[in-house]
Amino acid sequence: MESSPLRLRLDGAALVHNWKTLAAMSGTAACGAAVKADGYGLGAREVVRRLAAAGCRNFFVAHWSEARALADLGVQLSVLHGVRAEDMADRPDGARPVLNSPEQVRRWREAGGGVCDVMVDTGMNRLGVSVEDIAAGLLDGLAVETLMSHLACADEDSVLNERQRQRFAALRGRTGAPRMSLANSAGIALGSDYHFDLTRPGLALYGGIARREFANSIRQVVQPEAQVLQRRTVRAGESVGYNATFTAPTDMDVAILNIGYADGYLRCFSGKGRAWFDGVELPVLGRVSMDLVAVGVDAAPTLRESDWAALNYALPETAALSGLSQYELLTGLGARYQPVWSH
Ligand SMILES: *Cc1c(COP(=O)(O)O)cnc(C)c1O
């Protein structure tokens, strides 16, 4: 790959550490991995390769195109959005749908069925067949491998967690499914009653802190870095960037970094974000542009054109600063980064 002025440092050891931590927290349940949205923006192929080598056996994507892009890796893939009519013709080996509605179940049966997973709604009212549909025999005779449900509020201490868990647990033995799966990252921290046979973390694999229980065990995986395009001196009273929202109080040095809102570094970081060079903090000055951002560099006298600065992207802290969720911070990173994996 040609060299990009923008790179994403990815800590492969931290990724594997996070999966192993979540697998240990999952107790006797197997621990899978959600790798939809290109592995939450990190690059699904590299994530799957590393986690498969660490022992992960079940991977979750949203779309069939995502399953096709990973099919040659030879891992088991479940497609969370199930099957539309358009999906039936081109389904790679090793991938099965998570059927979400009576219509999808009917479509799957009519096509000859085969092994599938099924999502049941227990209170989120997003995707899934109903408990009543199951009681009425909707799944009878179907080769369901994993019966799943999804928690709406696992990252909070909500009464809905226990209500969903009870509704789900009541389905044990009511379908032919040998496995049941409820917990996402946050759900794993809710305790062993929530683990069933298989857990499905996403966010925490990639360094997200979904609940305080993870704060000391989950490690940061992602670090964006951008190259300096220009260093300049801004005179006192002059302004920086679009709409002149920052005015230099004194003569000051500014560096222009090769990153902008098209790279997921959104305008909410204007005047608020932080970069780092050589252990020195560099404040974002003025508006973030599409492809560029200005930082103050008086504290970094040696920084010059073509040096690399790291953007502060510690997920919980950056989410609080920006108002974006940790999920948005990861999945919004964009396509222009050169991924650089360590380990
Ligand atoms: C995305 C997703 C997950 C992973 O959730 P995280 O909160 O990222 O851990 C698990 N299950 C389903 C059904 C999902 O859509």
Q: Nearest Cα to 90, choosing from 73, 76, 104, 71? A: 71
Cβ-based neighbours of 193, under 8 Å, separated by 6 or more: 165, 169
Q: Tell me the domain boundaries of the chain.
A: 12-208, 222-313
Ligand 1 pocket residue status of 202, Cβ below 6 Å = yes
Per-residue pLDDT of the chain (343 residues; tens, 9 = 90+): 578 999 999 999 999 999 999 999 999 999 999 999 999 999 999 999 999 999 999 999 999 999 999 999 999 999 999 999 999 999 999 999 999 999 999 999 999 989 999 999 999 999 999 999 999 999 999 999 999 999 999 999 999 999 999 999 999 999 999 999 999 999 999 999 999 999 999 999 999 999 999 999 999 999 999 999 999 999 999 999 999 999 999 999 999 999 999 999 999 999 999 999 999 999 999 999 999 999 999 999 999 999 999 999 999 999 999 999 999 999 999 899 999 999 8
User: Residue 126, exposed/middle/buried by CB under 10 A (0-12, 13-18, 19+)?
Assistant: exposed
Question: Any idea which fold 222-313 has?
Answer: Lyase, Ornithine Decarboxylase; Chain A, domain 1 (2.40.37)
Q: Give the pLDDT confidence score for residue 188 in this predicted structure.
A: 98
Identify which of 68, 79, 72 has the alpha carbon closest to the alpha carbon of residue 52: 72
User: What CATH superfamily is the domain 12-208?
Assistant: Alanine racemase (3.20.20.10)
Three-state secondary structure call for residue 66: helix
Residue of 18, 31, 184, 214 to test ligand 1 pocket, by largest number of atoms within 8 Å of CB? 184
- Going from the Cα of 253 to the center of ligand 1, the distance in angstroms, rounded, reads 44
Task: Quote the pTM value.
Answer: 0.97
In the residue annotation, 242 being an active-site residue is answered as yes
**How confident is the model at residue 1, as a pLDDT?**
56
Please count the CA atoms within 13 angstroms of the CA of 6 that sit on its side-chain side: 19
* Residue 194 among the catalytic residues: no
| Mutation probe of ligand 1 site: the residue of 60, 78, 190 with most atoms within 8 A of C-beta | 60
Q: What pLDDT shows up at residue 275?
A: 98
Is 200 near ligand 1, meaning CB less than 6 Å away? yes
Ligand 1 centroid – CA 304 distance (Å): 42
Q: Ligand 1 centre and the CA of 252: distance in Å? A: 46
pLDDT of residue 343: 85
